[in-house]
Homo-oligomer: A and B are copies of this chain.
Amino acid sequence: MSNLDILQQRLAAADCAALLIPSSDEYLSEYTQPADRRLPWITGFSGSIASVIVARDRAAIFVDGRYTEQAARQVDTARFDVCGFGNPARLEWLRRTLQPGDTLMVDTRLHSVAELQQLMEGAEAAGFKIAATPSNLVDAIWTTSRPTPSRSSVFDYDVQYAGLAREEKFTLLRQQLIERGRDLFIVADPEDVAWLLNIRSTDSIDTLDRGDFSNPISSFRVPAPLSRVLLPAEGEVCWFVDRDRLAPELLDALEGVVLICEPGRFDATLASLAAGKTVAANLRRTNYHHAKIIREAGAIEDDASVVRYRGIKHPNEITAAREGHRIDGAAVVRFLAWLPTATAKGIVTELEAAQRLTELRAENERYLGPSMSNLSASGPNSALPHYVPTKETNRVLNDHPIFWMDSGGQYLGCSTDNTVCFAIGTPESRHVLAHTLAVKGWMALSRARFPEGIASTQLDSFARQYLWQHGLDYGHGTGHGVGNFLNIHEVPHIRREIDHYSVAPILSGQILSNEPGYYLKGDFGVRIESHILAVPSAHEGFLEFETLSMLPIDPQLIDANLLDPHEARWLSDYHNGLVAGYEGMLDAAEASWLAGIARRFEDMANRAGA
């Protein structure tokens, strides 16, 4: 019997018509641990985000456009309908499949308040009953062969890298509670907890996306241990985490500052501290179960200030980021200098290239592991923006002029995530055109100056404008906030959707990615990605960006005729800055390769009369 069969039997036994299964865990994490992957365990689907409803005789998987094909391939379509993502599609399927009066079970721990409330209201309006509990039938049957979570040591993250001391962060949040007449913060997002407590771990994870859990280059670090905090305006800060994971030095440091509590005591403590009080919670990051506990005991108010504070980097964090990007960039430059020689000598595959850069990064003692899966993409694979190579898809770089790699490392004080795009052999003119237009947009965003506090969405067009002139575009965001030895994805995002939750003001101290690209399905794709830091400009009230990533661009992929003289000069200055910046970090051959690149750009600038 399949997992699905067993589940459908249990549904009947529980007198329920259907069960909702999301891809998220009870921390609403971006990347879930294998033990929390209930949806793949039932369906076989390995995409990063989906939702499933299992009824007694039928099931459905709800995915967005990018996963329609993959879902149809991975699930048993004799038993699953493949439907669009979102509440309207789910409600429509429920109406088609269930009878009025039927009961839908939901696990209130696995959904945010906003998401579940909307679905429950719609289902009730359609005449269904909801059985909402903090548990689910999958856990009841998935008892054996459930993977053990990664549980690395949790350590004290020094203020040299973290910036503010944890006590100062507590004071900040407590002052805010008092100013807003609130009593308690629930810090439900493990990344907010890591920031607040100045702690990190080196848990590993692999990308669910590819279904290849054993692939070494697809695994990476998630430095925020799964835990929660309750921070009252008065009284001790309670951290709900397994004490035995904490390094002894951390335990010493927290003595008298933070109370370590059993994770199993979280619900009861929350109910007790929230009684008659007003609780500040980020409703996008707090699960429905906890929000319900709070509402039954007191009042809940939406408050995303922890994630906002987290986005504005402290001077220590900025110093560490500059240094981290230099260390990381040196490895990338060494990789890029190796690439033409290696491909001239013999064949190099996507996986070998990924492996090579991973090894070069690892040579630095401050490297703590990858920050993301290595997206090493050649030829038609490069047309997939989120491609991660596997043994089955692994291409030989020598077979196609286009190669890009999107990868990054975790360092004390810095998470990197960058994309370099270099030609293997001679690129075609359409490759050069698309790349040049993306680079022009990348420069326009890097060089933008703008009023502090502008909505992040309003910088998006700068990066797309030259592609747009040629009727080209890319289907992903232009950029996203970046963590400090944390998740590489933070708010705000620079993207086109003006009503997206991640749209927020751009403020001094934020680190963002800048990653325009272009992708032609089945053919080729290009991307270039740097991290940029928002800093005050010479003009009061206006910010500009400092480019943190120190990464060369392939002059073979630039059409100098499409550059304005000031762009050609900027590119030349930028590359001369790389030569100077990496002094002493490269061997003679590597340094000479980089100098050669810089000379090419200087020639372009001189010819442009800039």
Partner of A564, one of B459, B460, B564: B564
A454 to B537, CA, bound (A): 29
A455 near B: Cβ within 8 Å?
yes
Partner of A542, one of B448, B468, B496, B565: B468
Partner of A457, one of B448, B450, B471, B498: B498
A584 near B: Cβ within 8 Å?
no
A566 to B567, CA, bound (A): 14
Contact A471 B541 (CB under 8 A): yes
Contact B451 A465 (CB under 8 A): no
Contact A471 B503 (CB under 8 A): no
- Which of chain B's residues has its CB closest to A454's CB? B496
Contact A458 B496 (CB under 8 A): yes
Partner of A461, one of B462, B471, B503: B462
Contact code string A444-479 (vs B, CB < 8 Å = 1, else 0): 000011110011011111101100111101000000
Instruction: List CB contacts (< 8 Å) of A498-529 with chain B.
Output: 498, 503
A542 to B496, CA, bound (A): 15
Contact A461 B450 (CB under 8 A): yes
Partner of A460, one of B458, B464, B469, B503: B458
Instruction: State the Cβ distance, A462 to closest chain B Cβ, in Å.
Output: 7
A588 near B: Cβ within 8 Å?
no
Contact B473 A451 (CB under 8 A): yes
Instruction: State the Cβ distance, A192 to closest chain B Cβ, in Å.
Output: 25
Given known A-B contacts A449-B468, A469-B449, A455 and B498 have beta carbons under 8 A apart? yes
A458 to B458, CA, bound (A): 5
Contact A458 B498 (CB under 8 A): yes
Number of copies of this chain that the complex holds: 2
Contact A468 B455 (CB under 8 A): no
Given known A-B contacts A498-B498, A503-B498, A449 and B471 have beta carbons under 8 A apart? yes
- Chain A contact-residue range equals 20 to 34
Contact A538 B471 (CB under 8 A): yes
A540 near B: Cβ within 8 Å?
yes
- Which of chain B's residues has its CB closest to A469's CB? B449
By a CB distance below 8 angstroms, the chain B residues around A460 are 458
By a CB distance below 8 angstroms, the chain B residues around A470 are 539
A449 to B564, CA, bound (A): 18
A565 to B565, CA, bound (A): 9
Instruction: State the Cβ distance, A483 to closest chain B Cβ, in Å.
Output: 25
By a CB distance below 8 angstroms, the chain B residues around A448 are 465, 468
By a CB distance below 8 angstroms, the chain B residues around A457 are 455, 457-458, 498
Contact B496 A468 (CB under 8 A): no
- Which of chain B's residues has its CB closest to A451's CB? B473
By a CB distance below 8 angstroms, the chain B residues around A503 are 498
A538 to B541, CA, bound (A): 39
By a CB distance below 8 angstroms, the chain B residues around A451 are 468, 473
By a CB distance below 8 angstroms, the chain B residues around A473 are 451
A462 to B540, CA, bound (A): 21
By a CB distance below 8 angstroms, the chain B residues around A542 are 468, 471
By a CB distance below 8 angstroms, the chain B residues around A469 are 449
A541 to B539, CA, bound (A): 38
By a CB distance below 8 angstroms, the chain B residues around A565 are 564-565
Most buried by B among A454, A458, A540, A565: A458
A470 to B542, CA, bound (A): 9
Instruction: State the Cβ distance, A478 to closest chain B Cβ, in Å.
Output: 11
Instruction: State the Cβ distance, A491 to closest chain B Cβ, in Å.
Output: 15
Contact code string A173-192 (vs B, CB < 8 Å = 1, else 0): 00000000000000000000
A464 to B449, CA, bound (A): 10
A566 to B465, CA, bound (A): 15
Instruction: List CB contacts (< 8 Å) of A402-461 with chain B.
Output: 448-451, 454-455, 457-461
Instruction: State the Cβ distance, A35 to closest chain B Cβ, in Å.
Output: 40
Instruction: List CB contacts (< 8 Å) of A163-219 with chain B.
Output: none
Instruction: List CB contacts (< 8 Å) of A532-569 with chain B.
Output: 537-542, 564-566
By a CB distance below 8 angstroms, the chain B residues around A462 are 461, 465
Instruction: State the Cβ distance, A534 to closest chain B Cβ, in Å.
Output: 14
By a CB distance below 8 angstroms, the chain B residues around A609 are 609
A468 to B538, CA, bound (A): 11
Partner of A540, one of B459, B471, B496, B540: B471
By a CB distance below 8 angstroms, the chain B residues around A455 are 457, 496, 498
By a CB distance below 8 angstroms, the chain B residues around A537 are 471
A465 to B461, CA, bound (A): 11
Instruction: State the Cβ distance, A459 to closest chain B Cβ, in Å.
Output: 7
By a CB distance below 8 angstroms, the chain B residues around A465 are 448, 450, 462
Q: List 7 A-B contacts (CB under 8 A).
A: A448-B465, A449-B469, A449-B471, A450-B465, A454-B461, A458-B461, A471-B539
Which 3 residue pairs across A and B have the least CB separation, nearest first?
A471-B539, A498-B498, A455-B498
Other contacts beyond A457-B458, A564-B566: 8, CB < 8 A? A448-B465, A454-B461, A458-B496, A458-B498, A471-B539, A471-B540, A498-B503, A564-B565
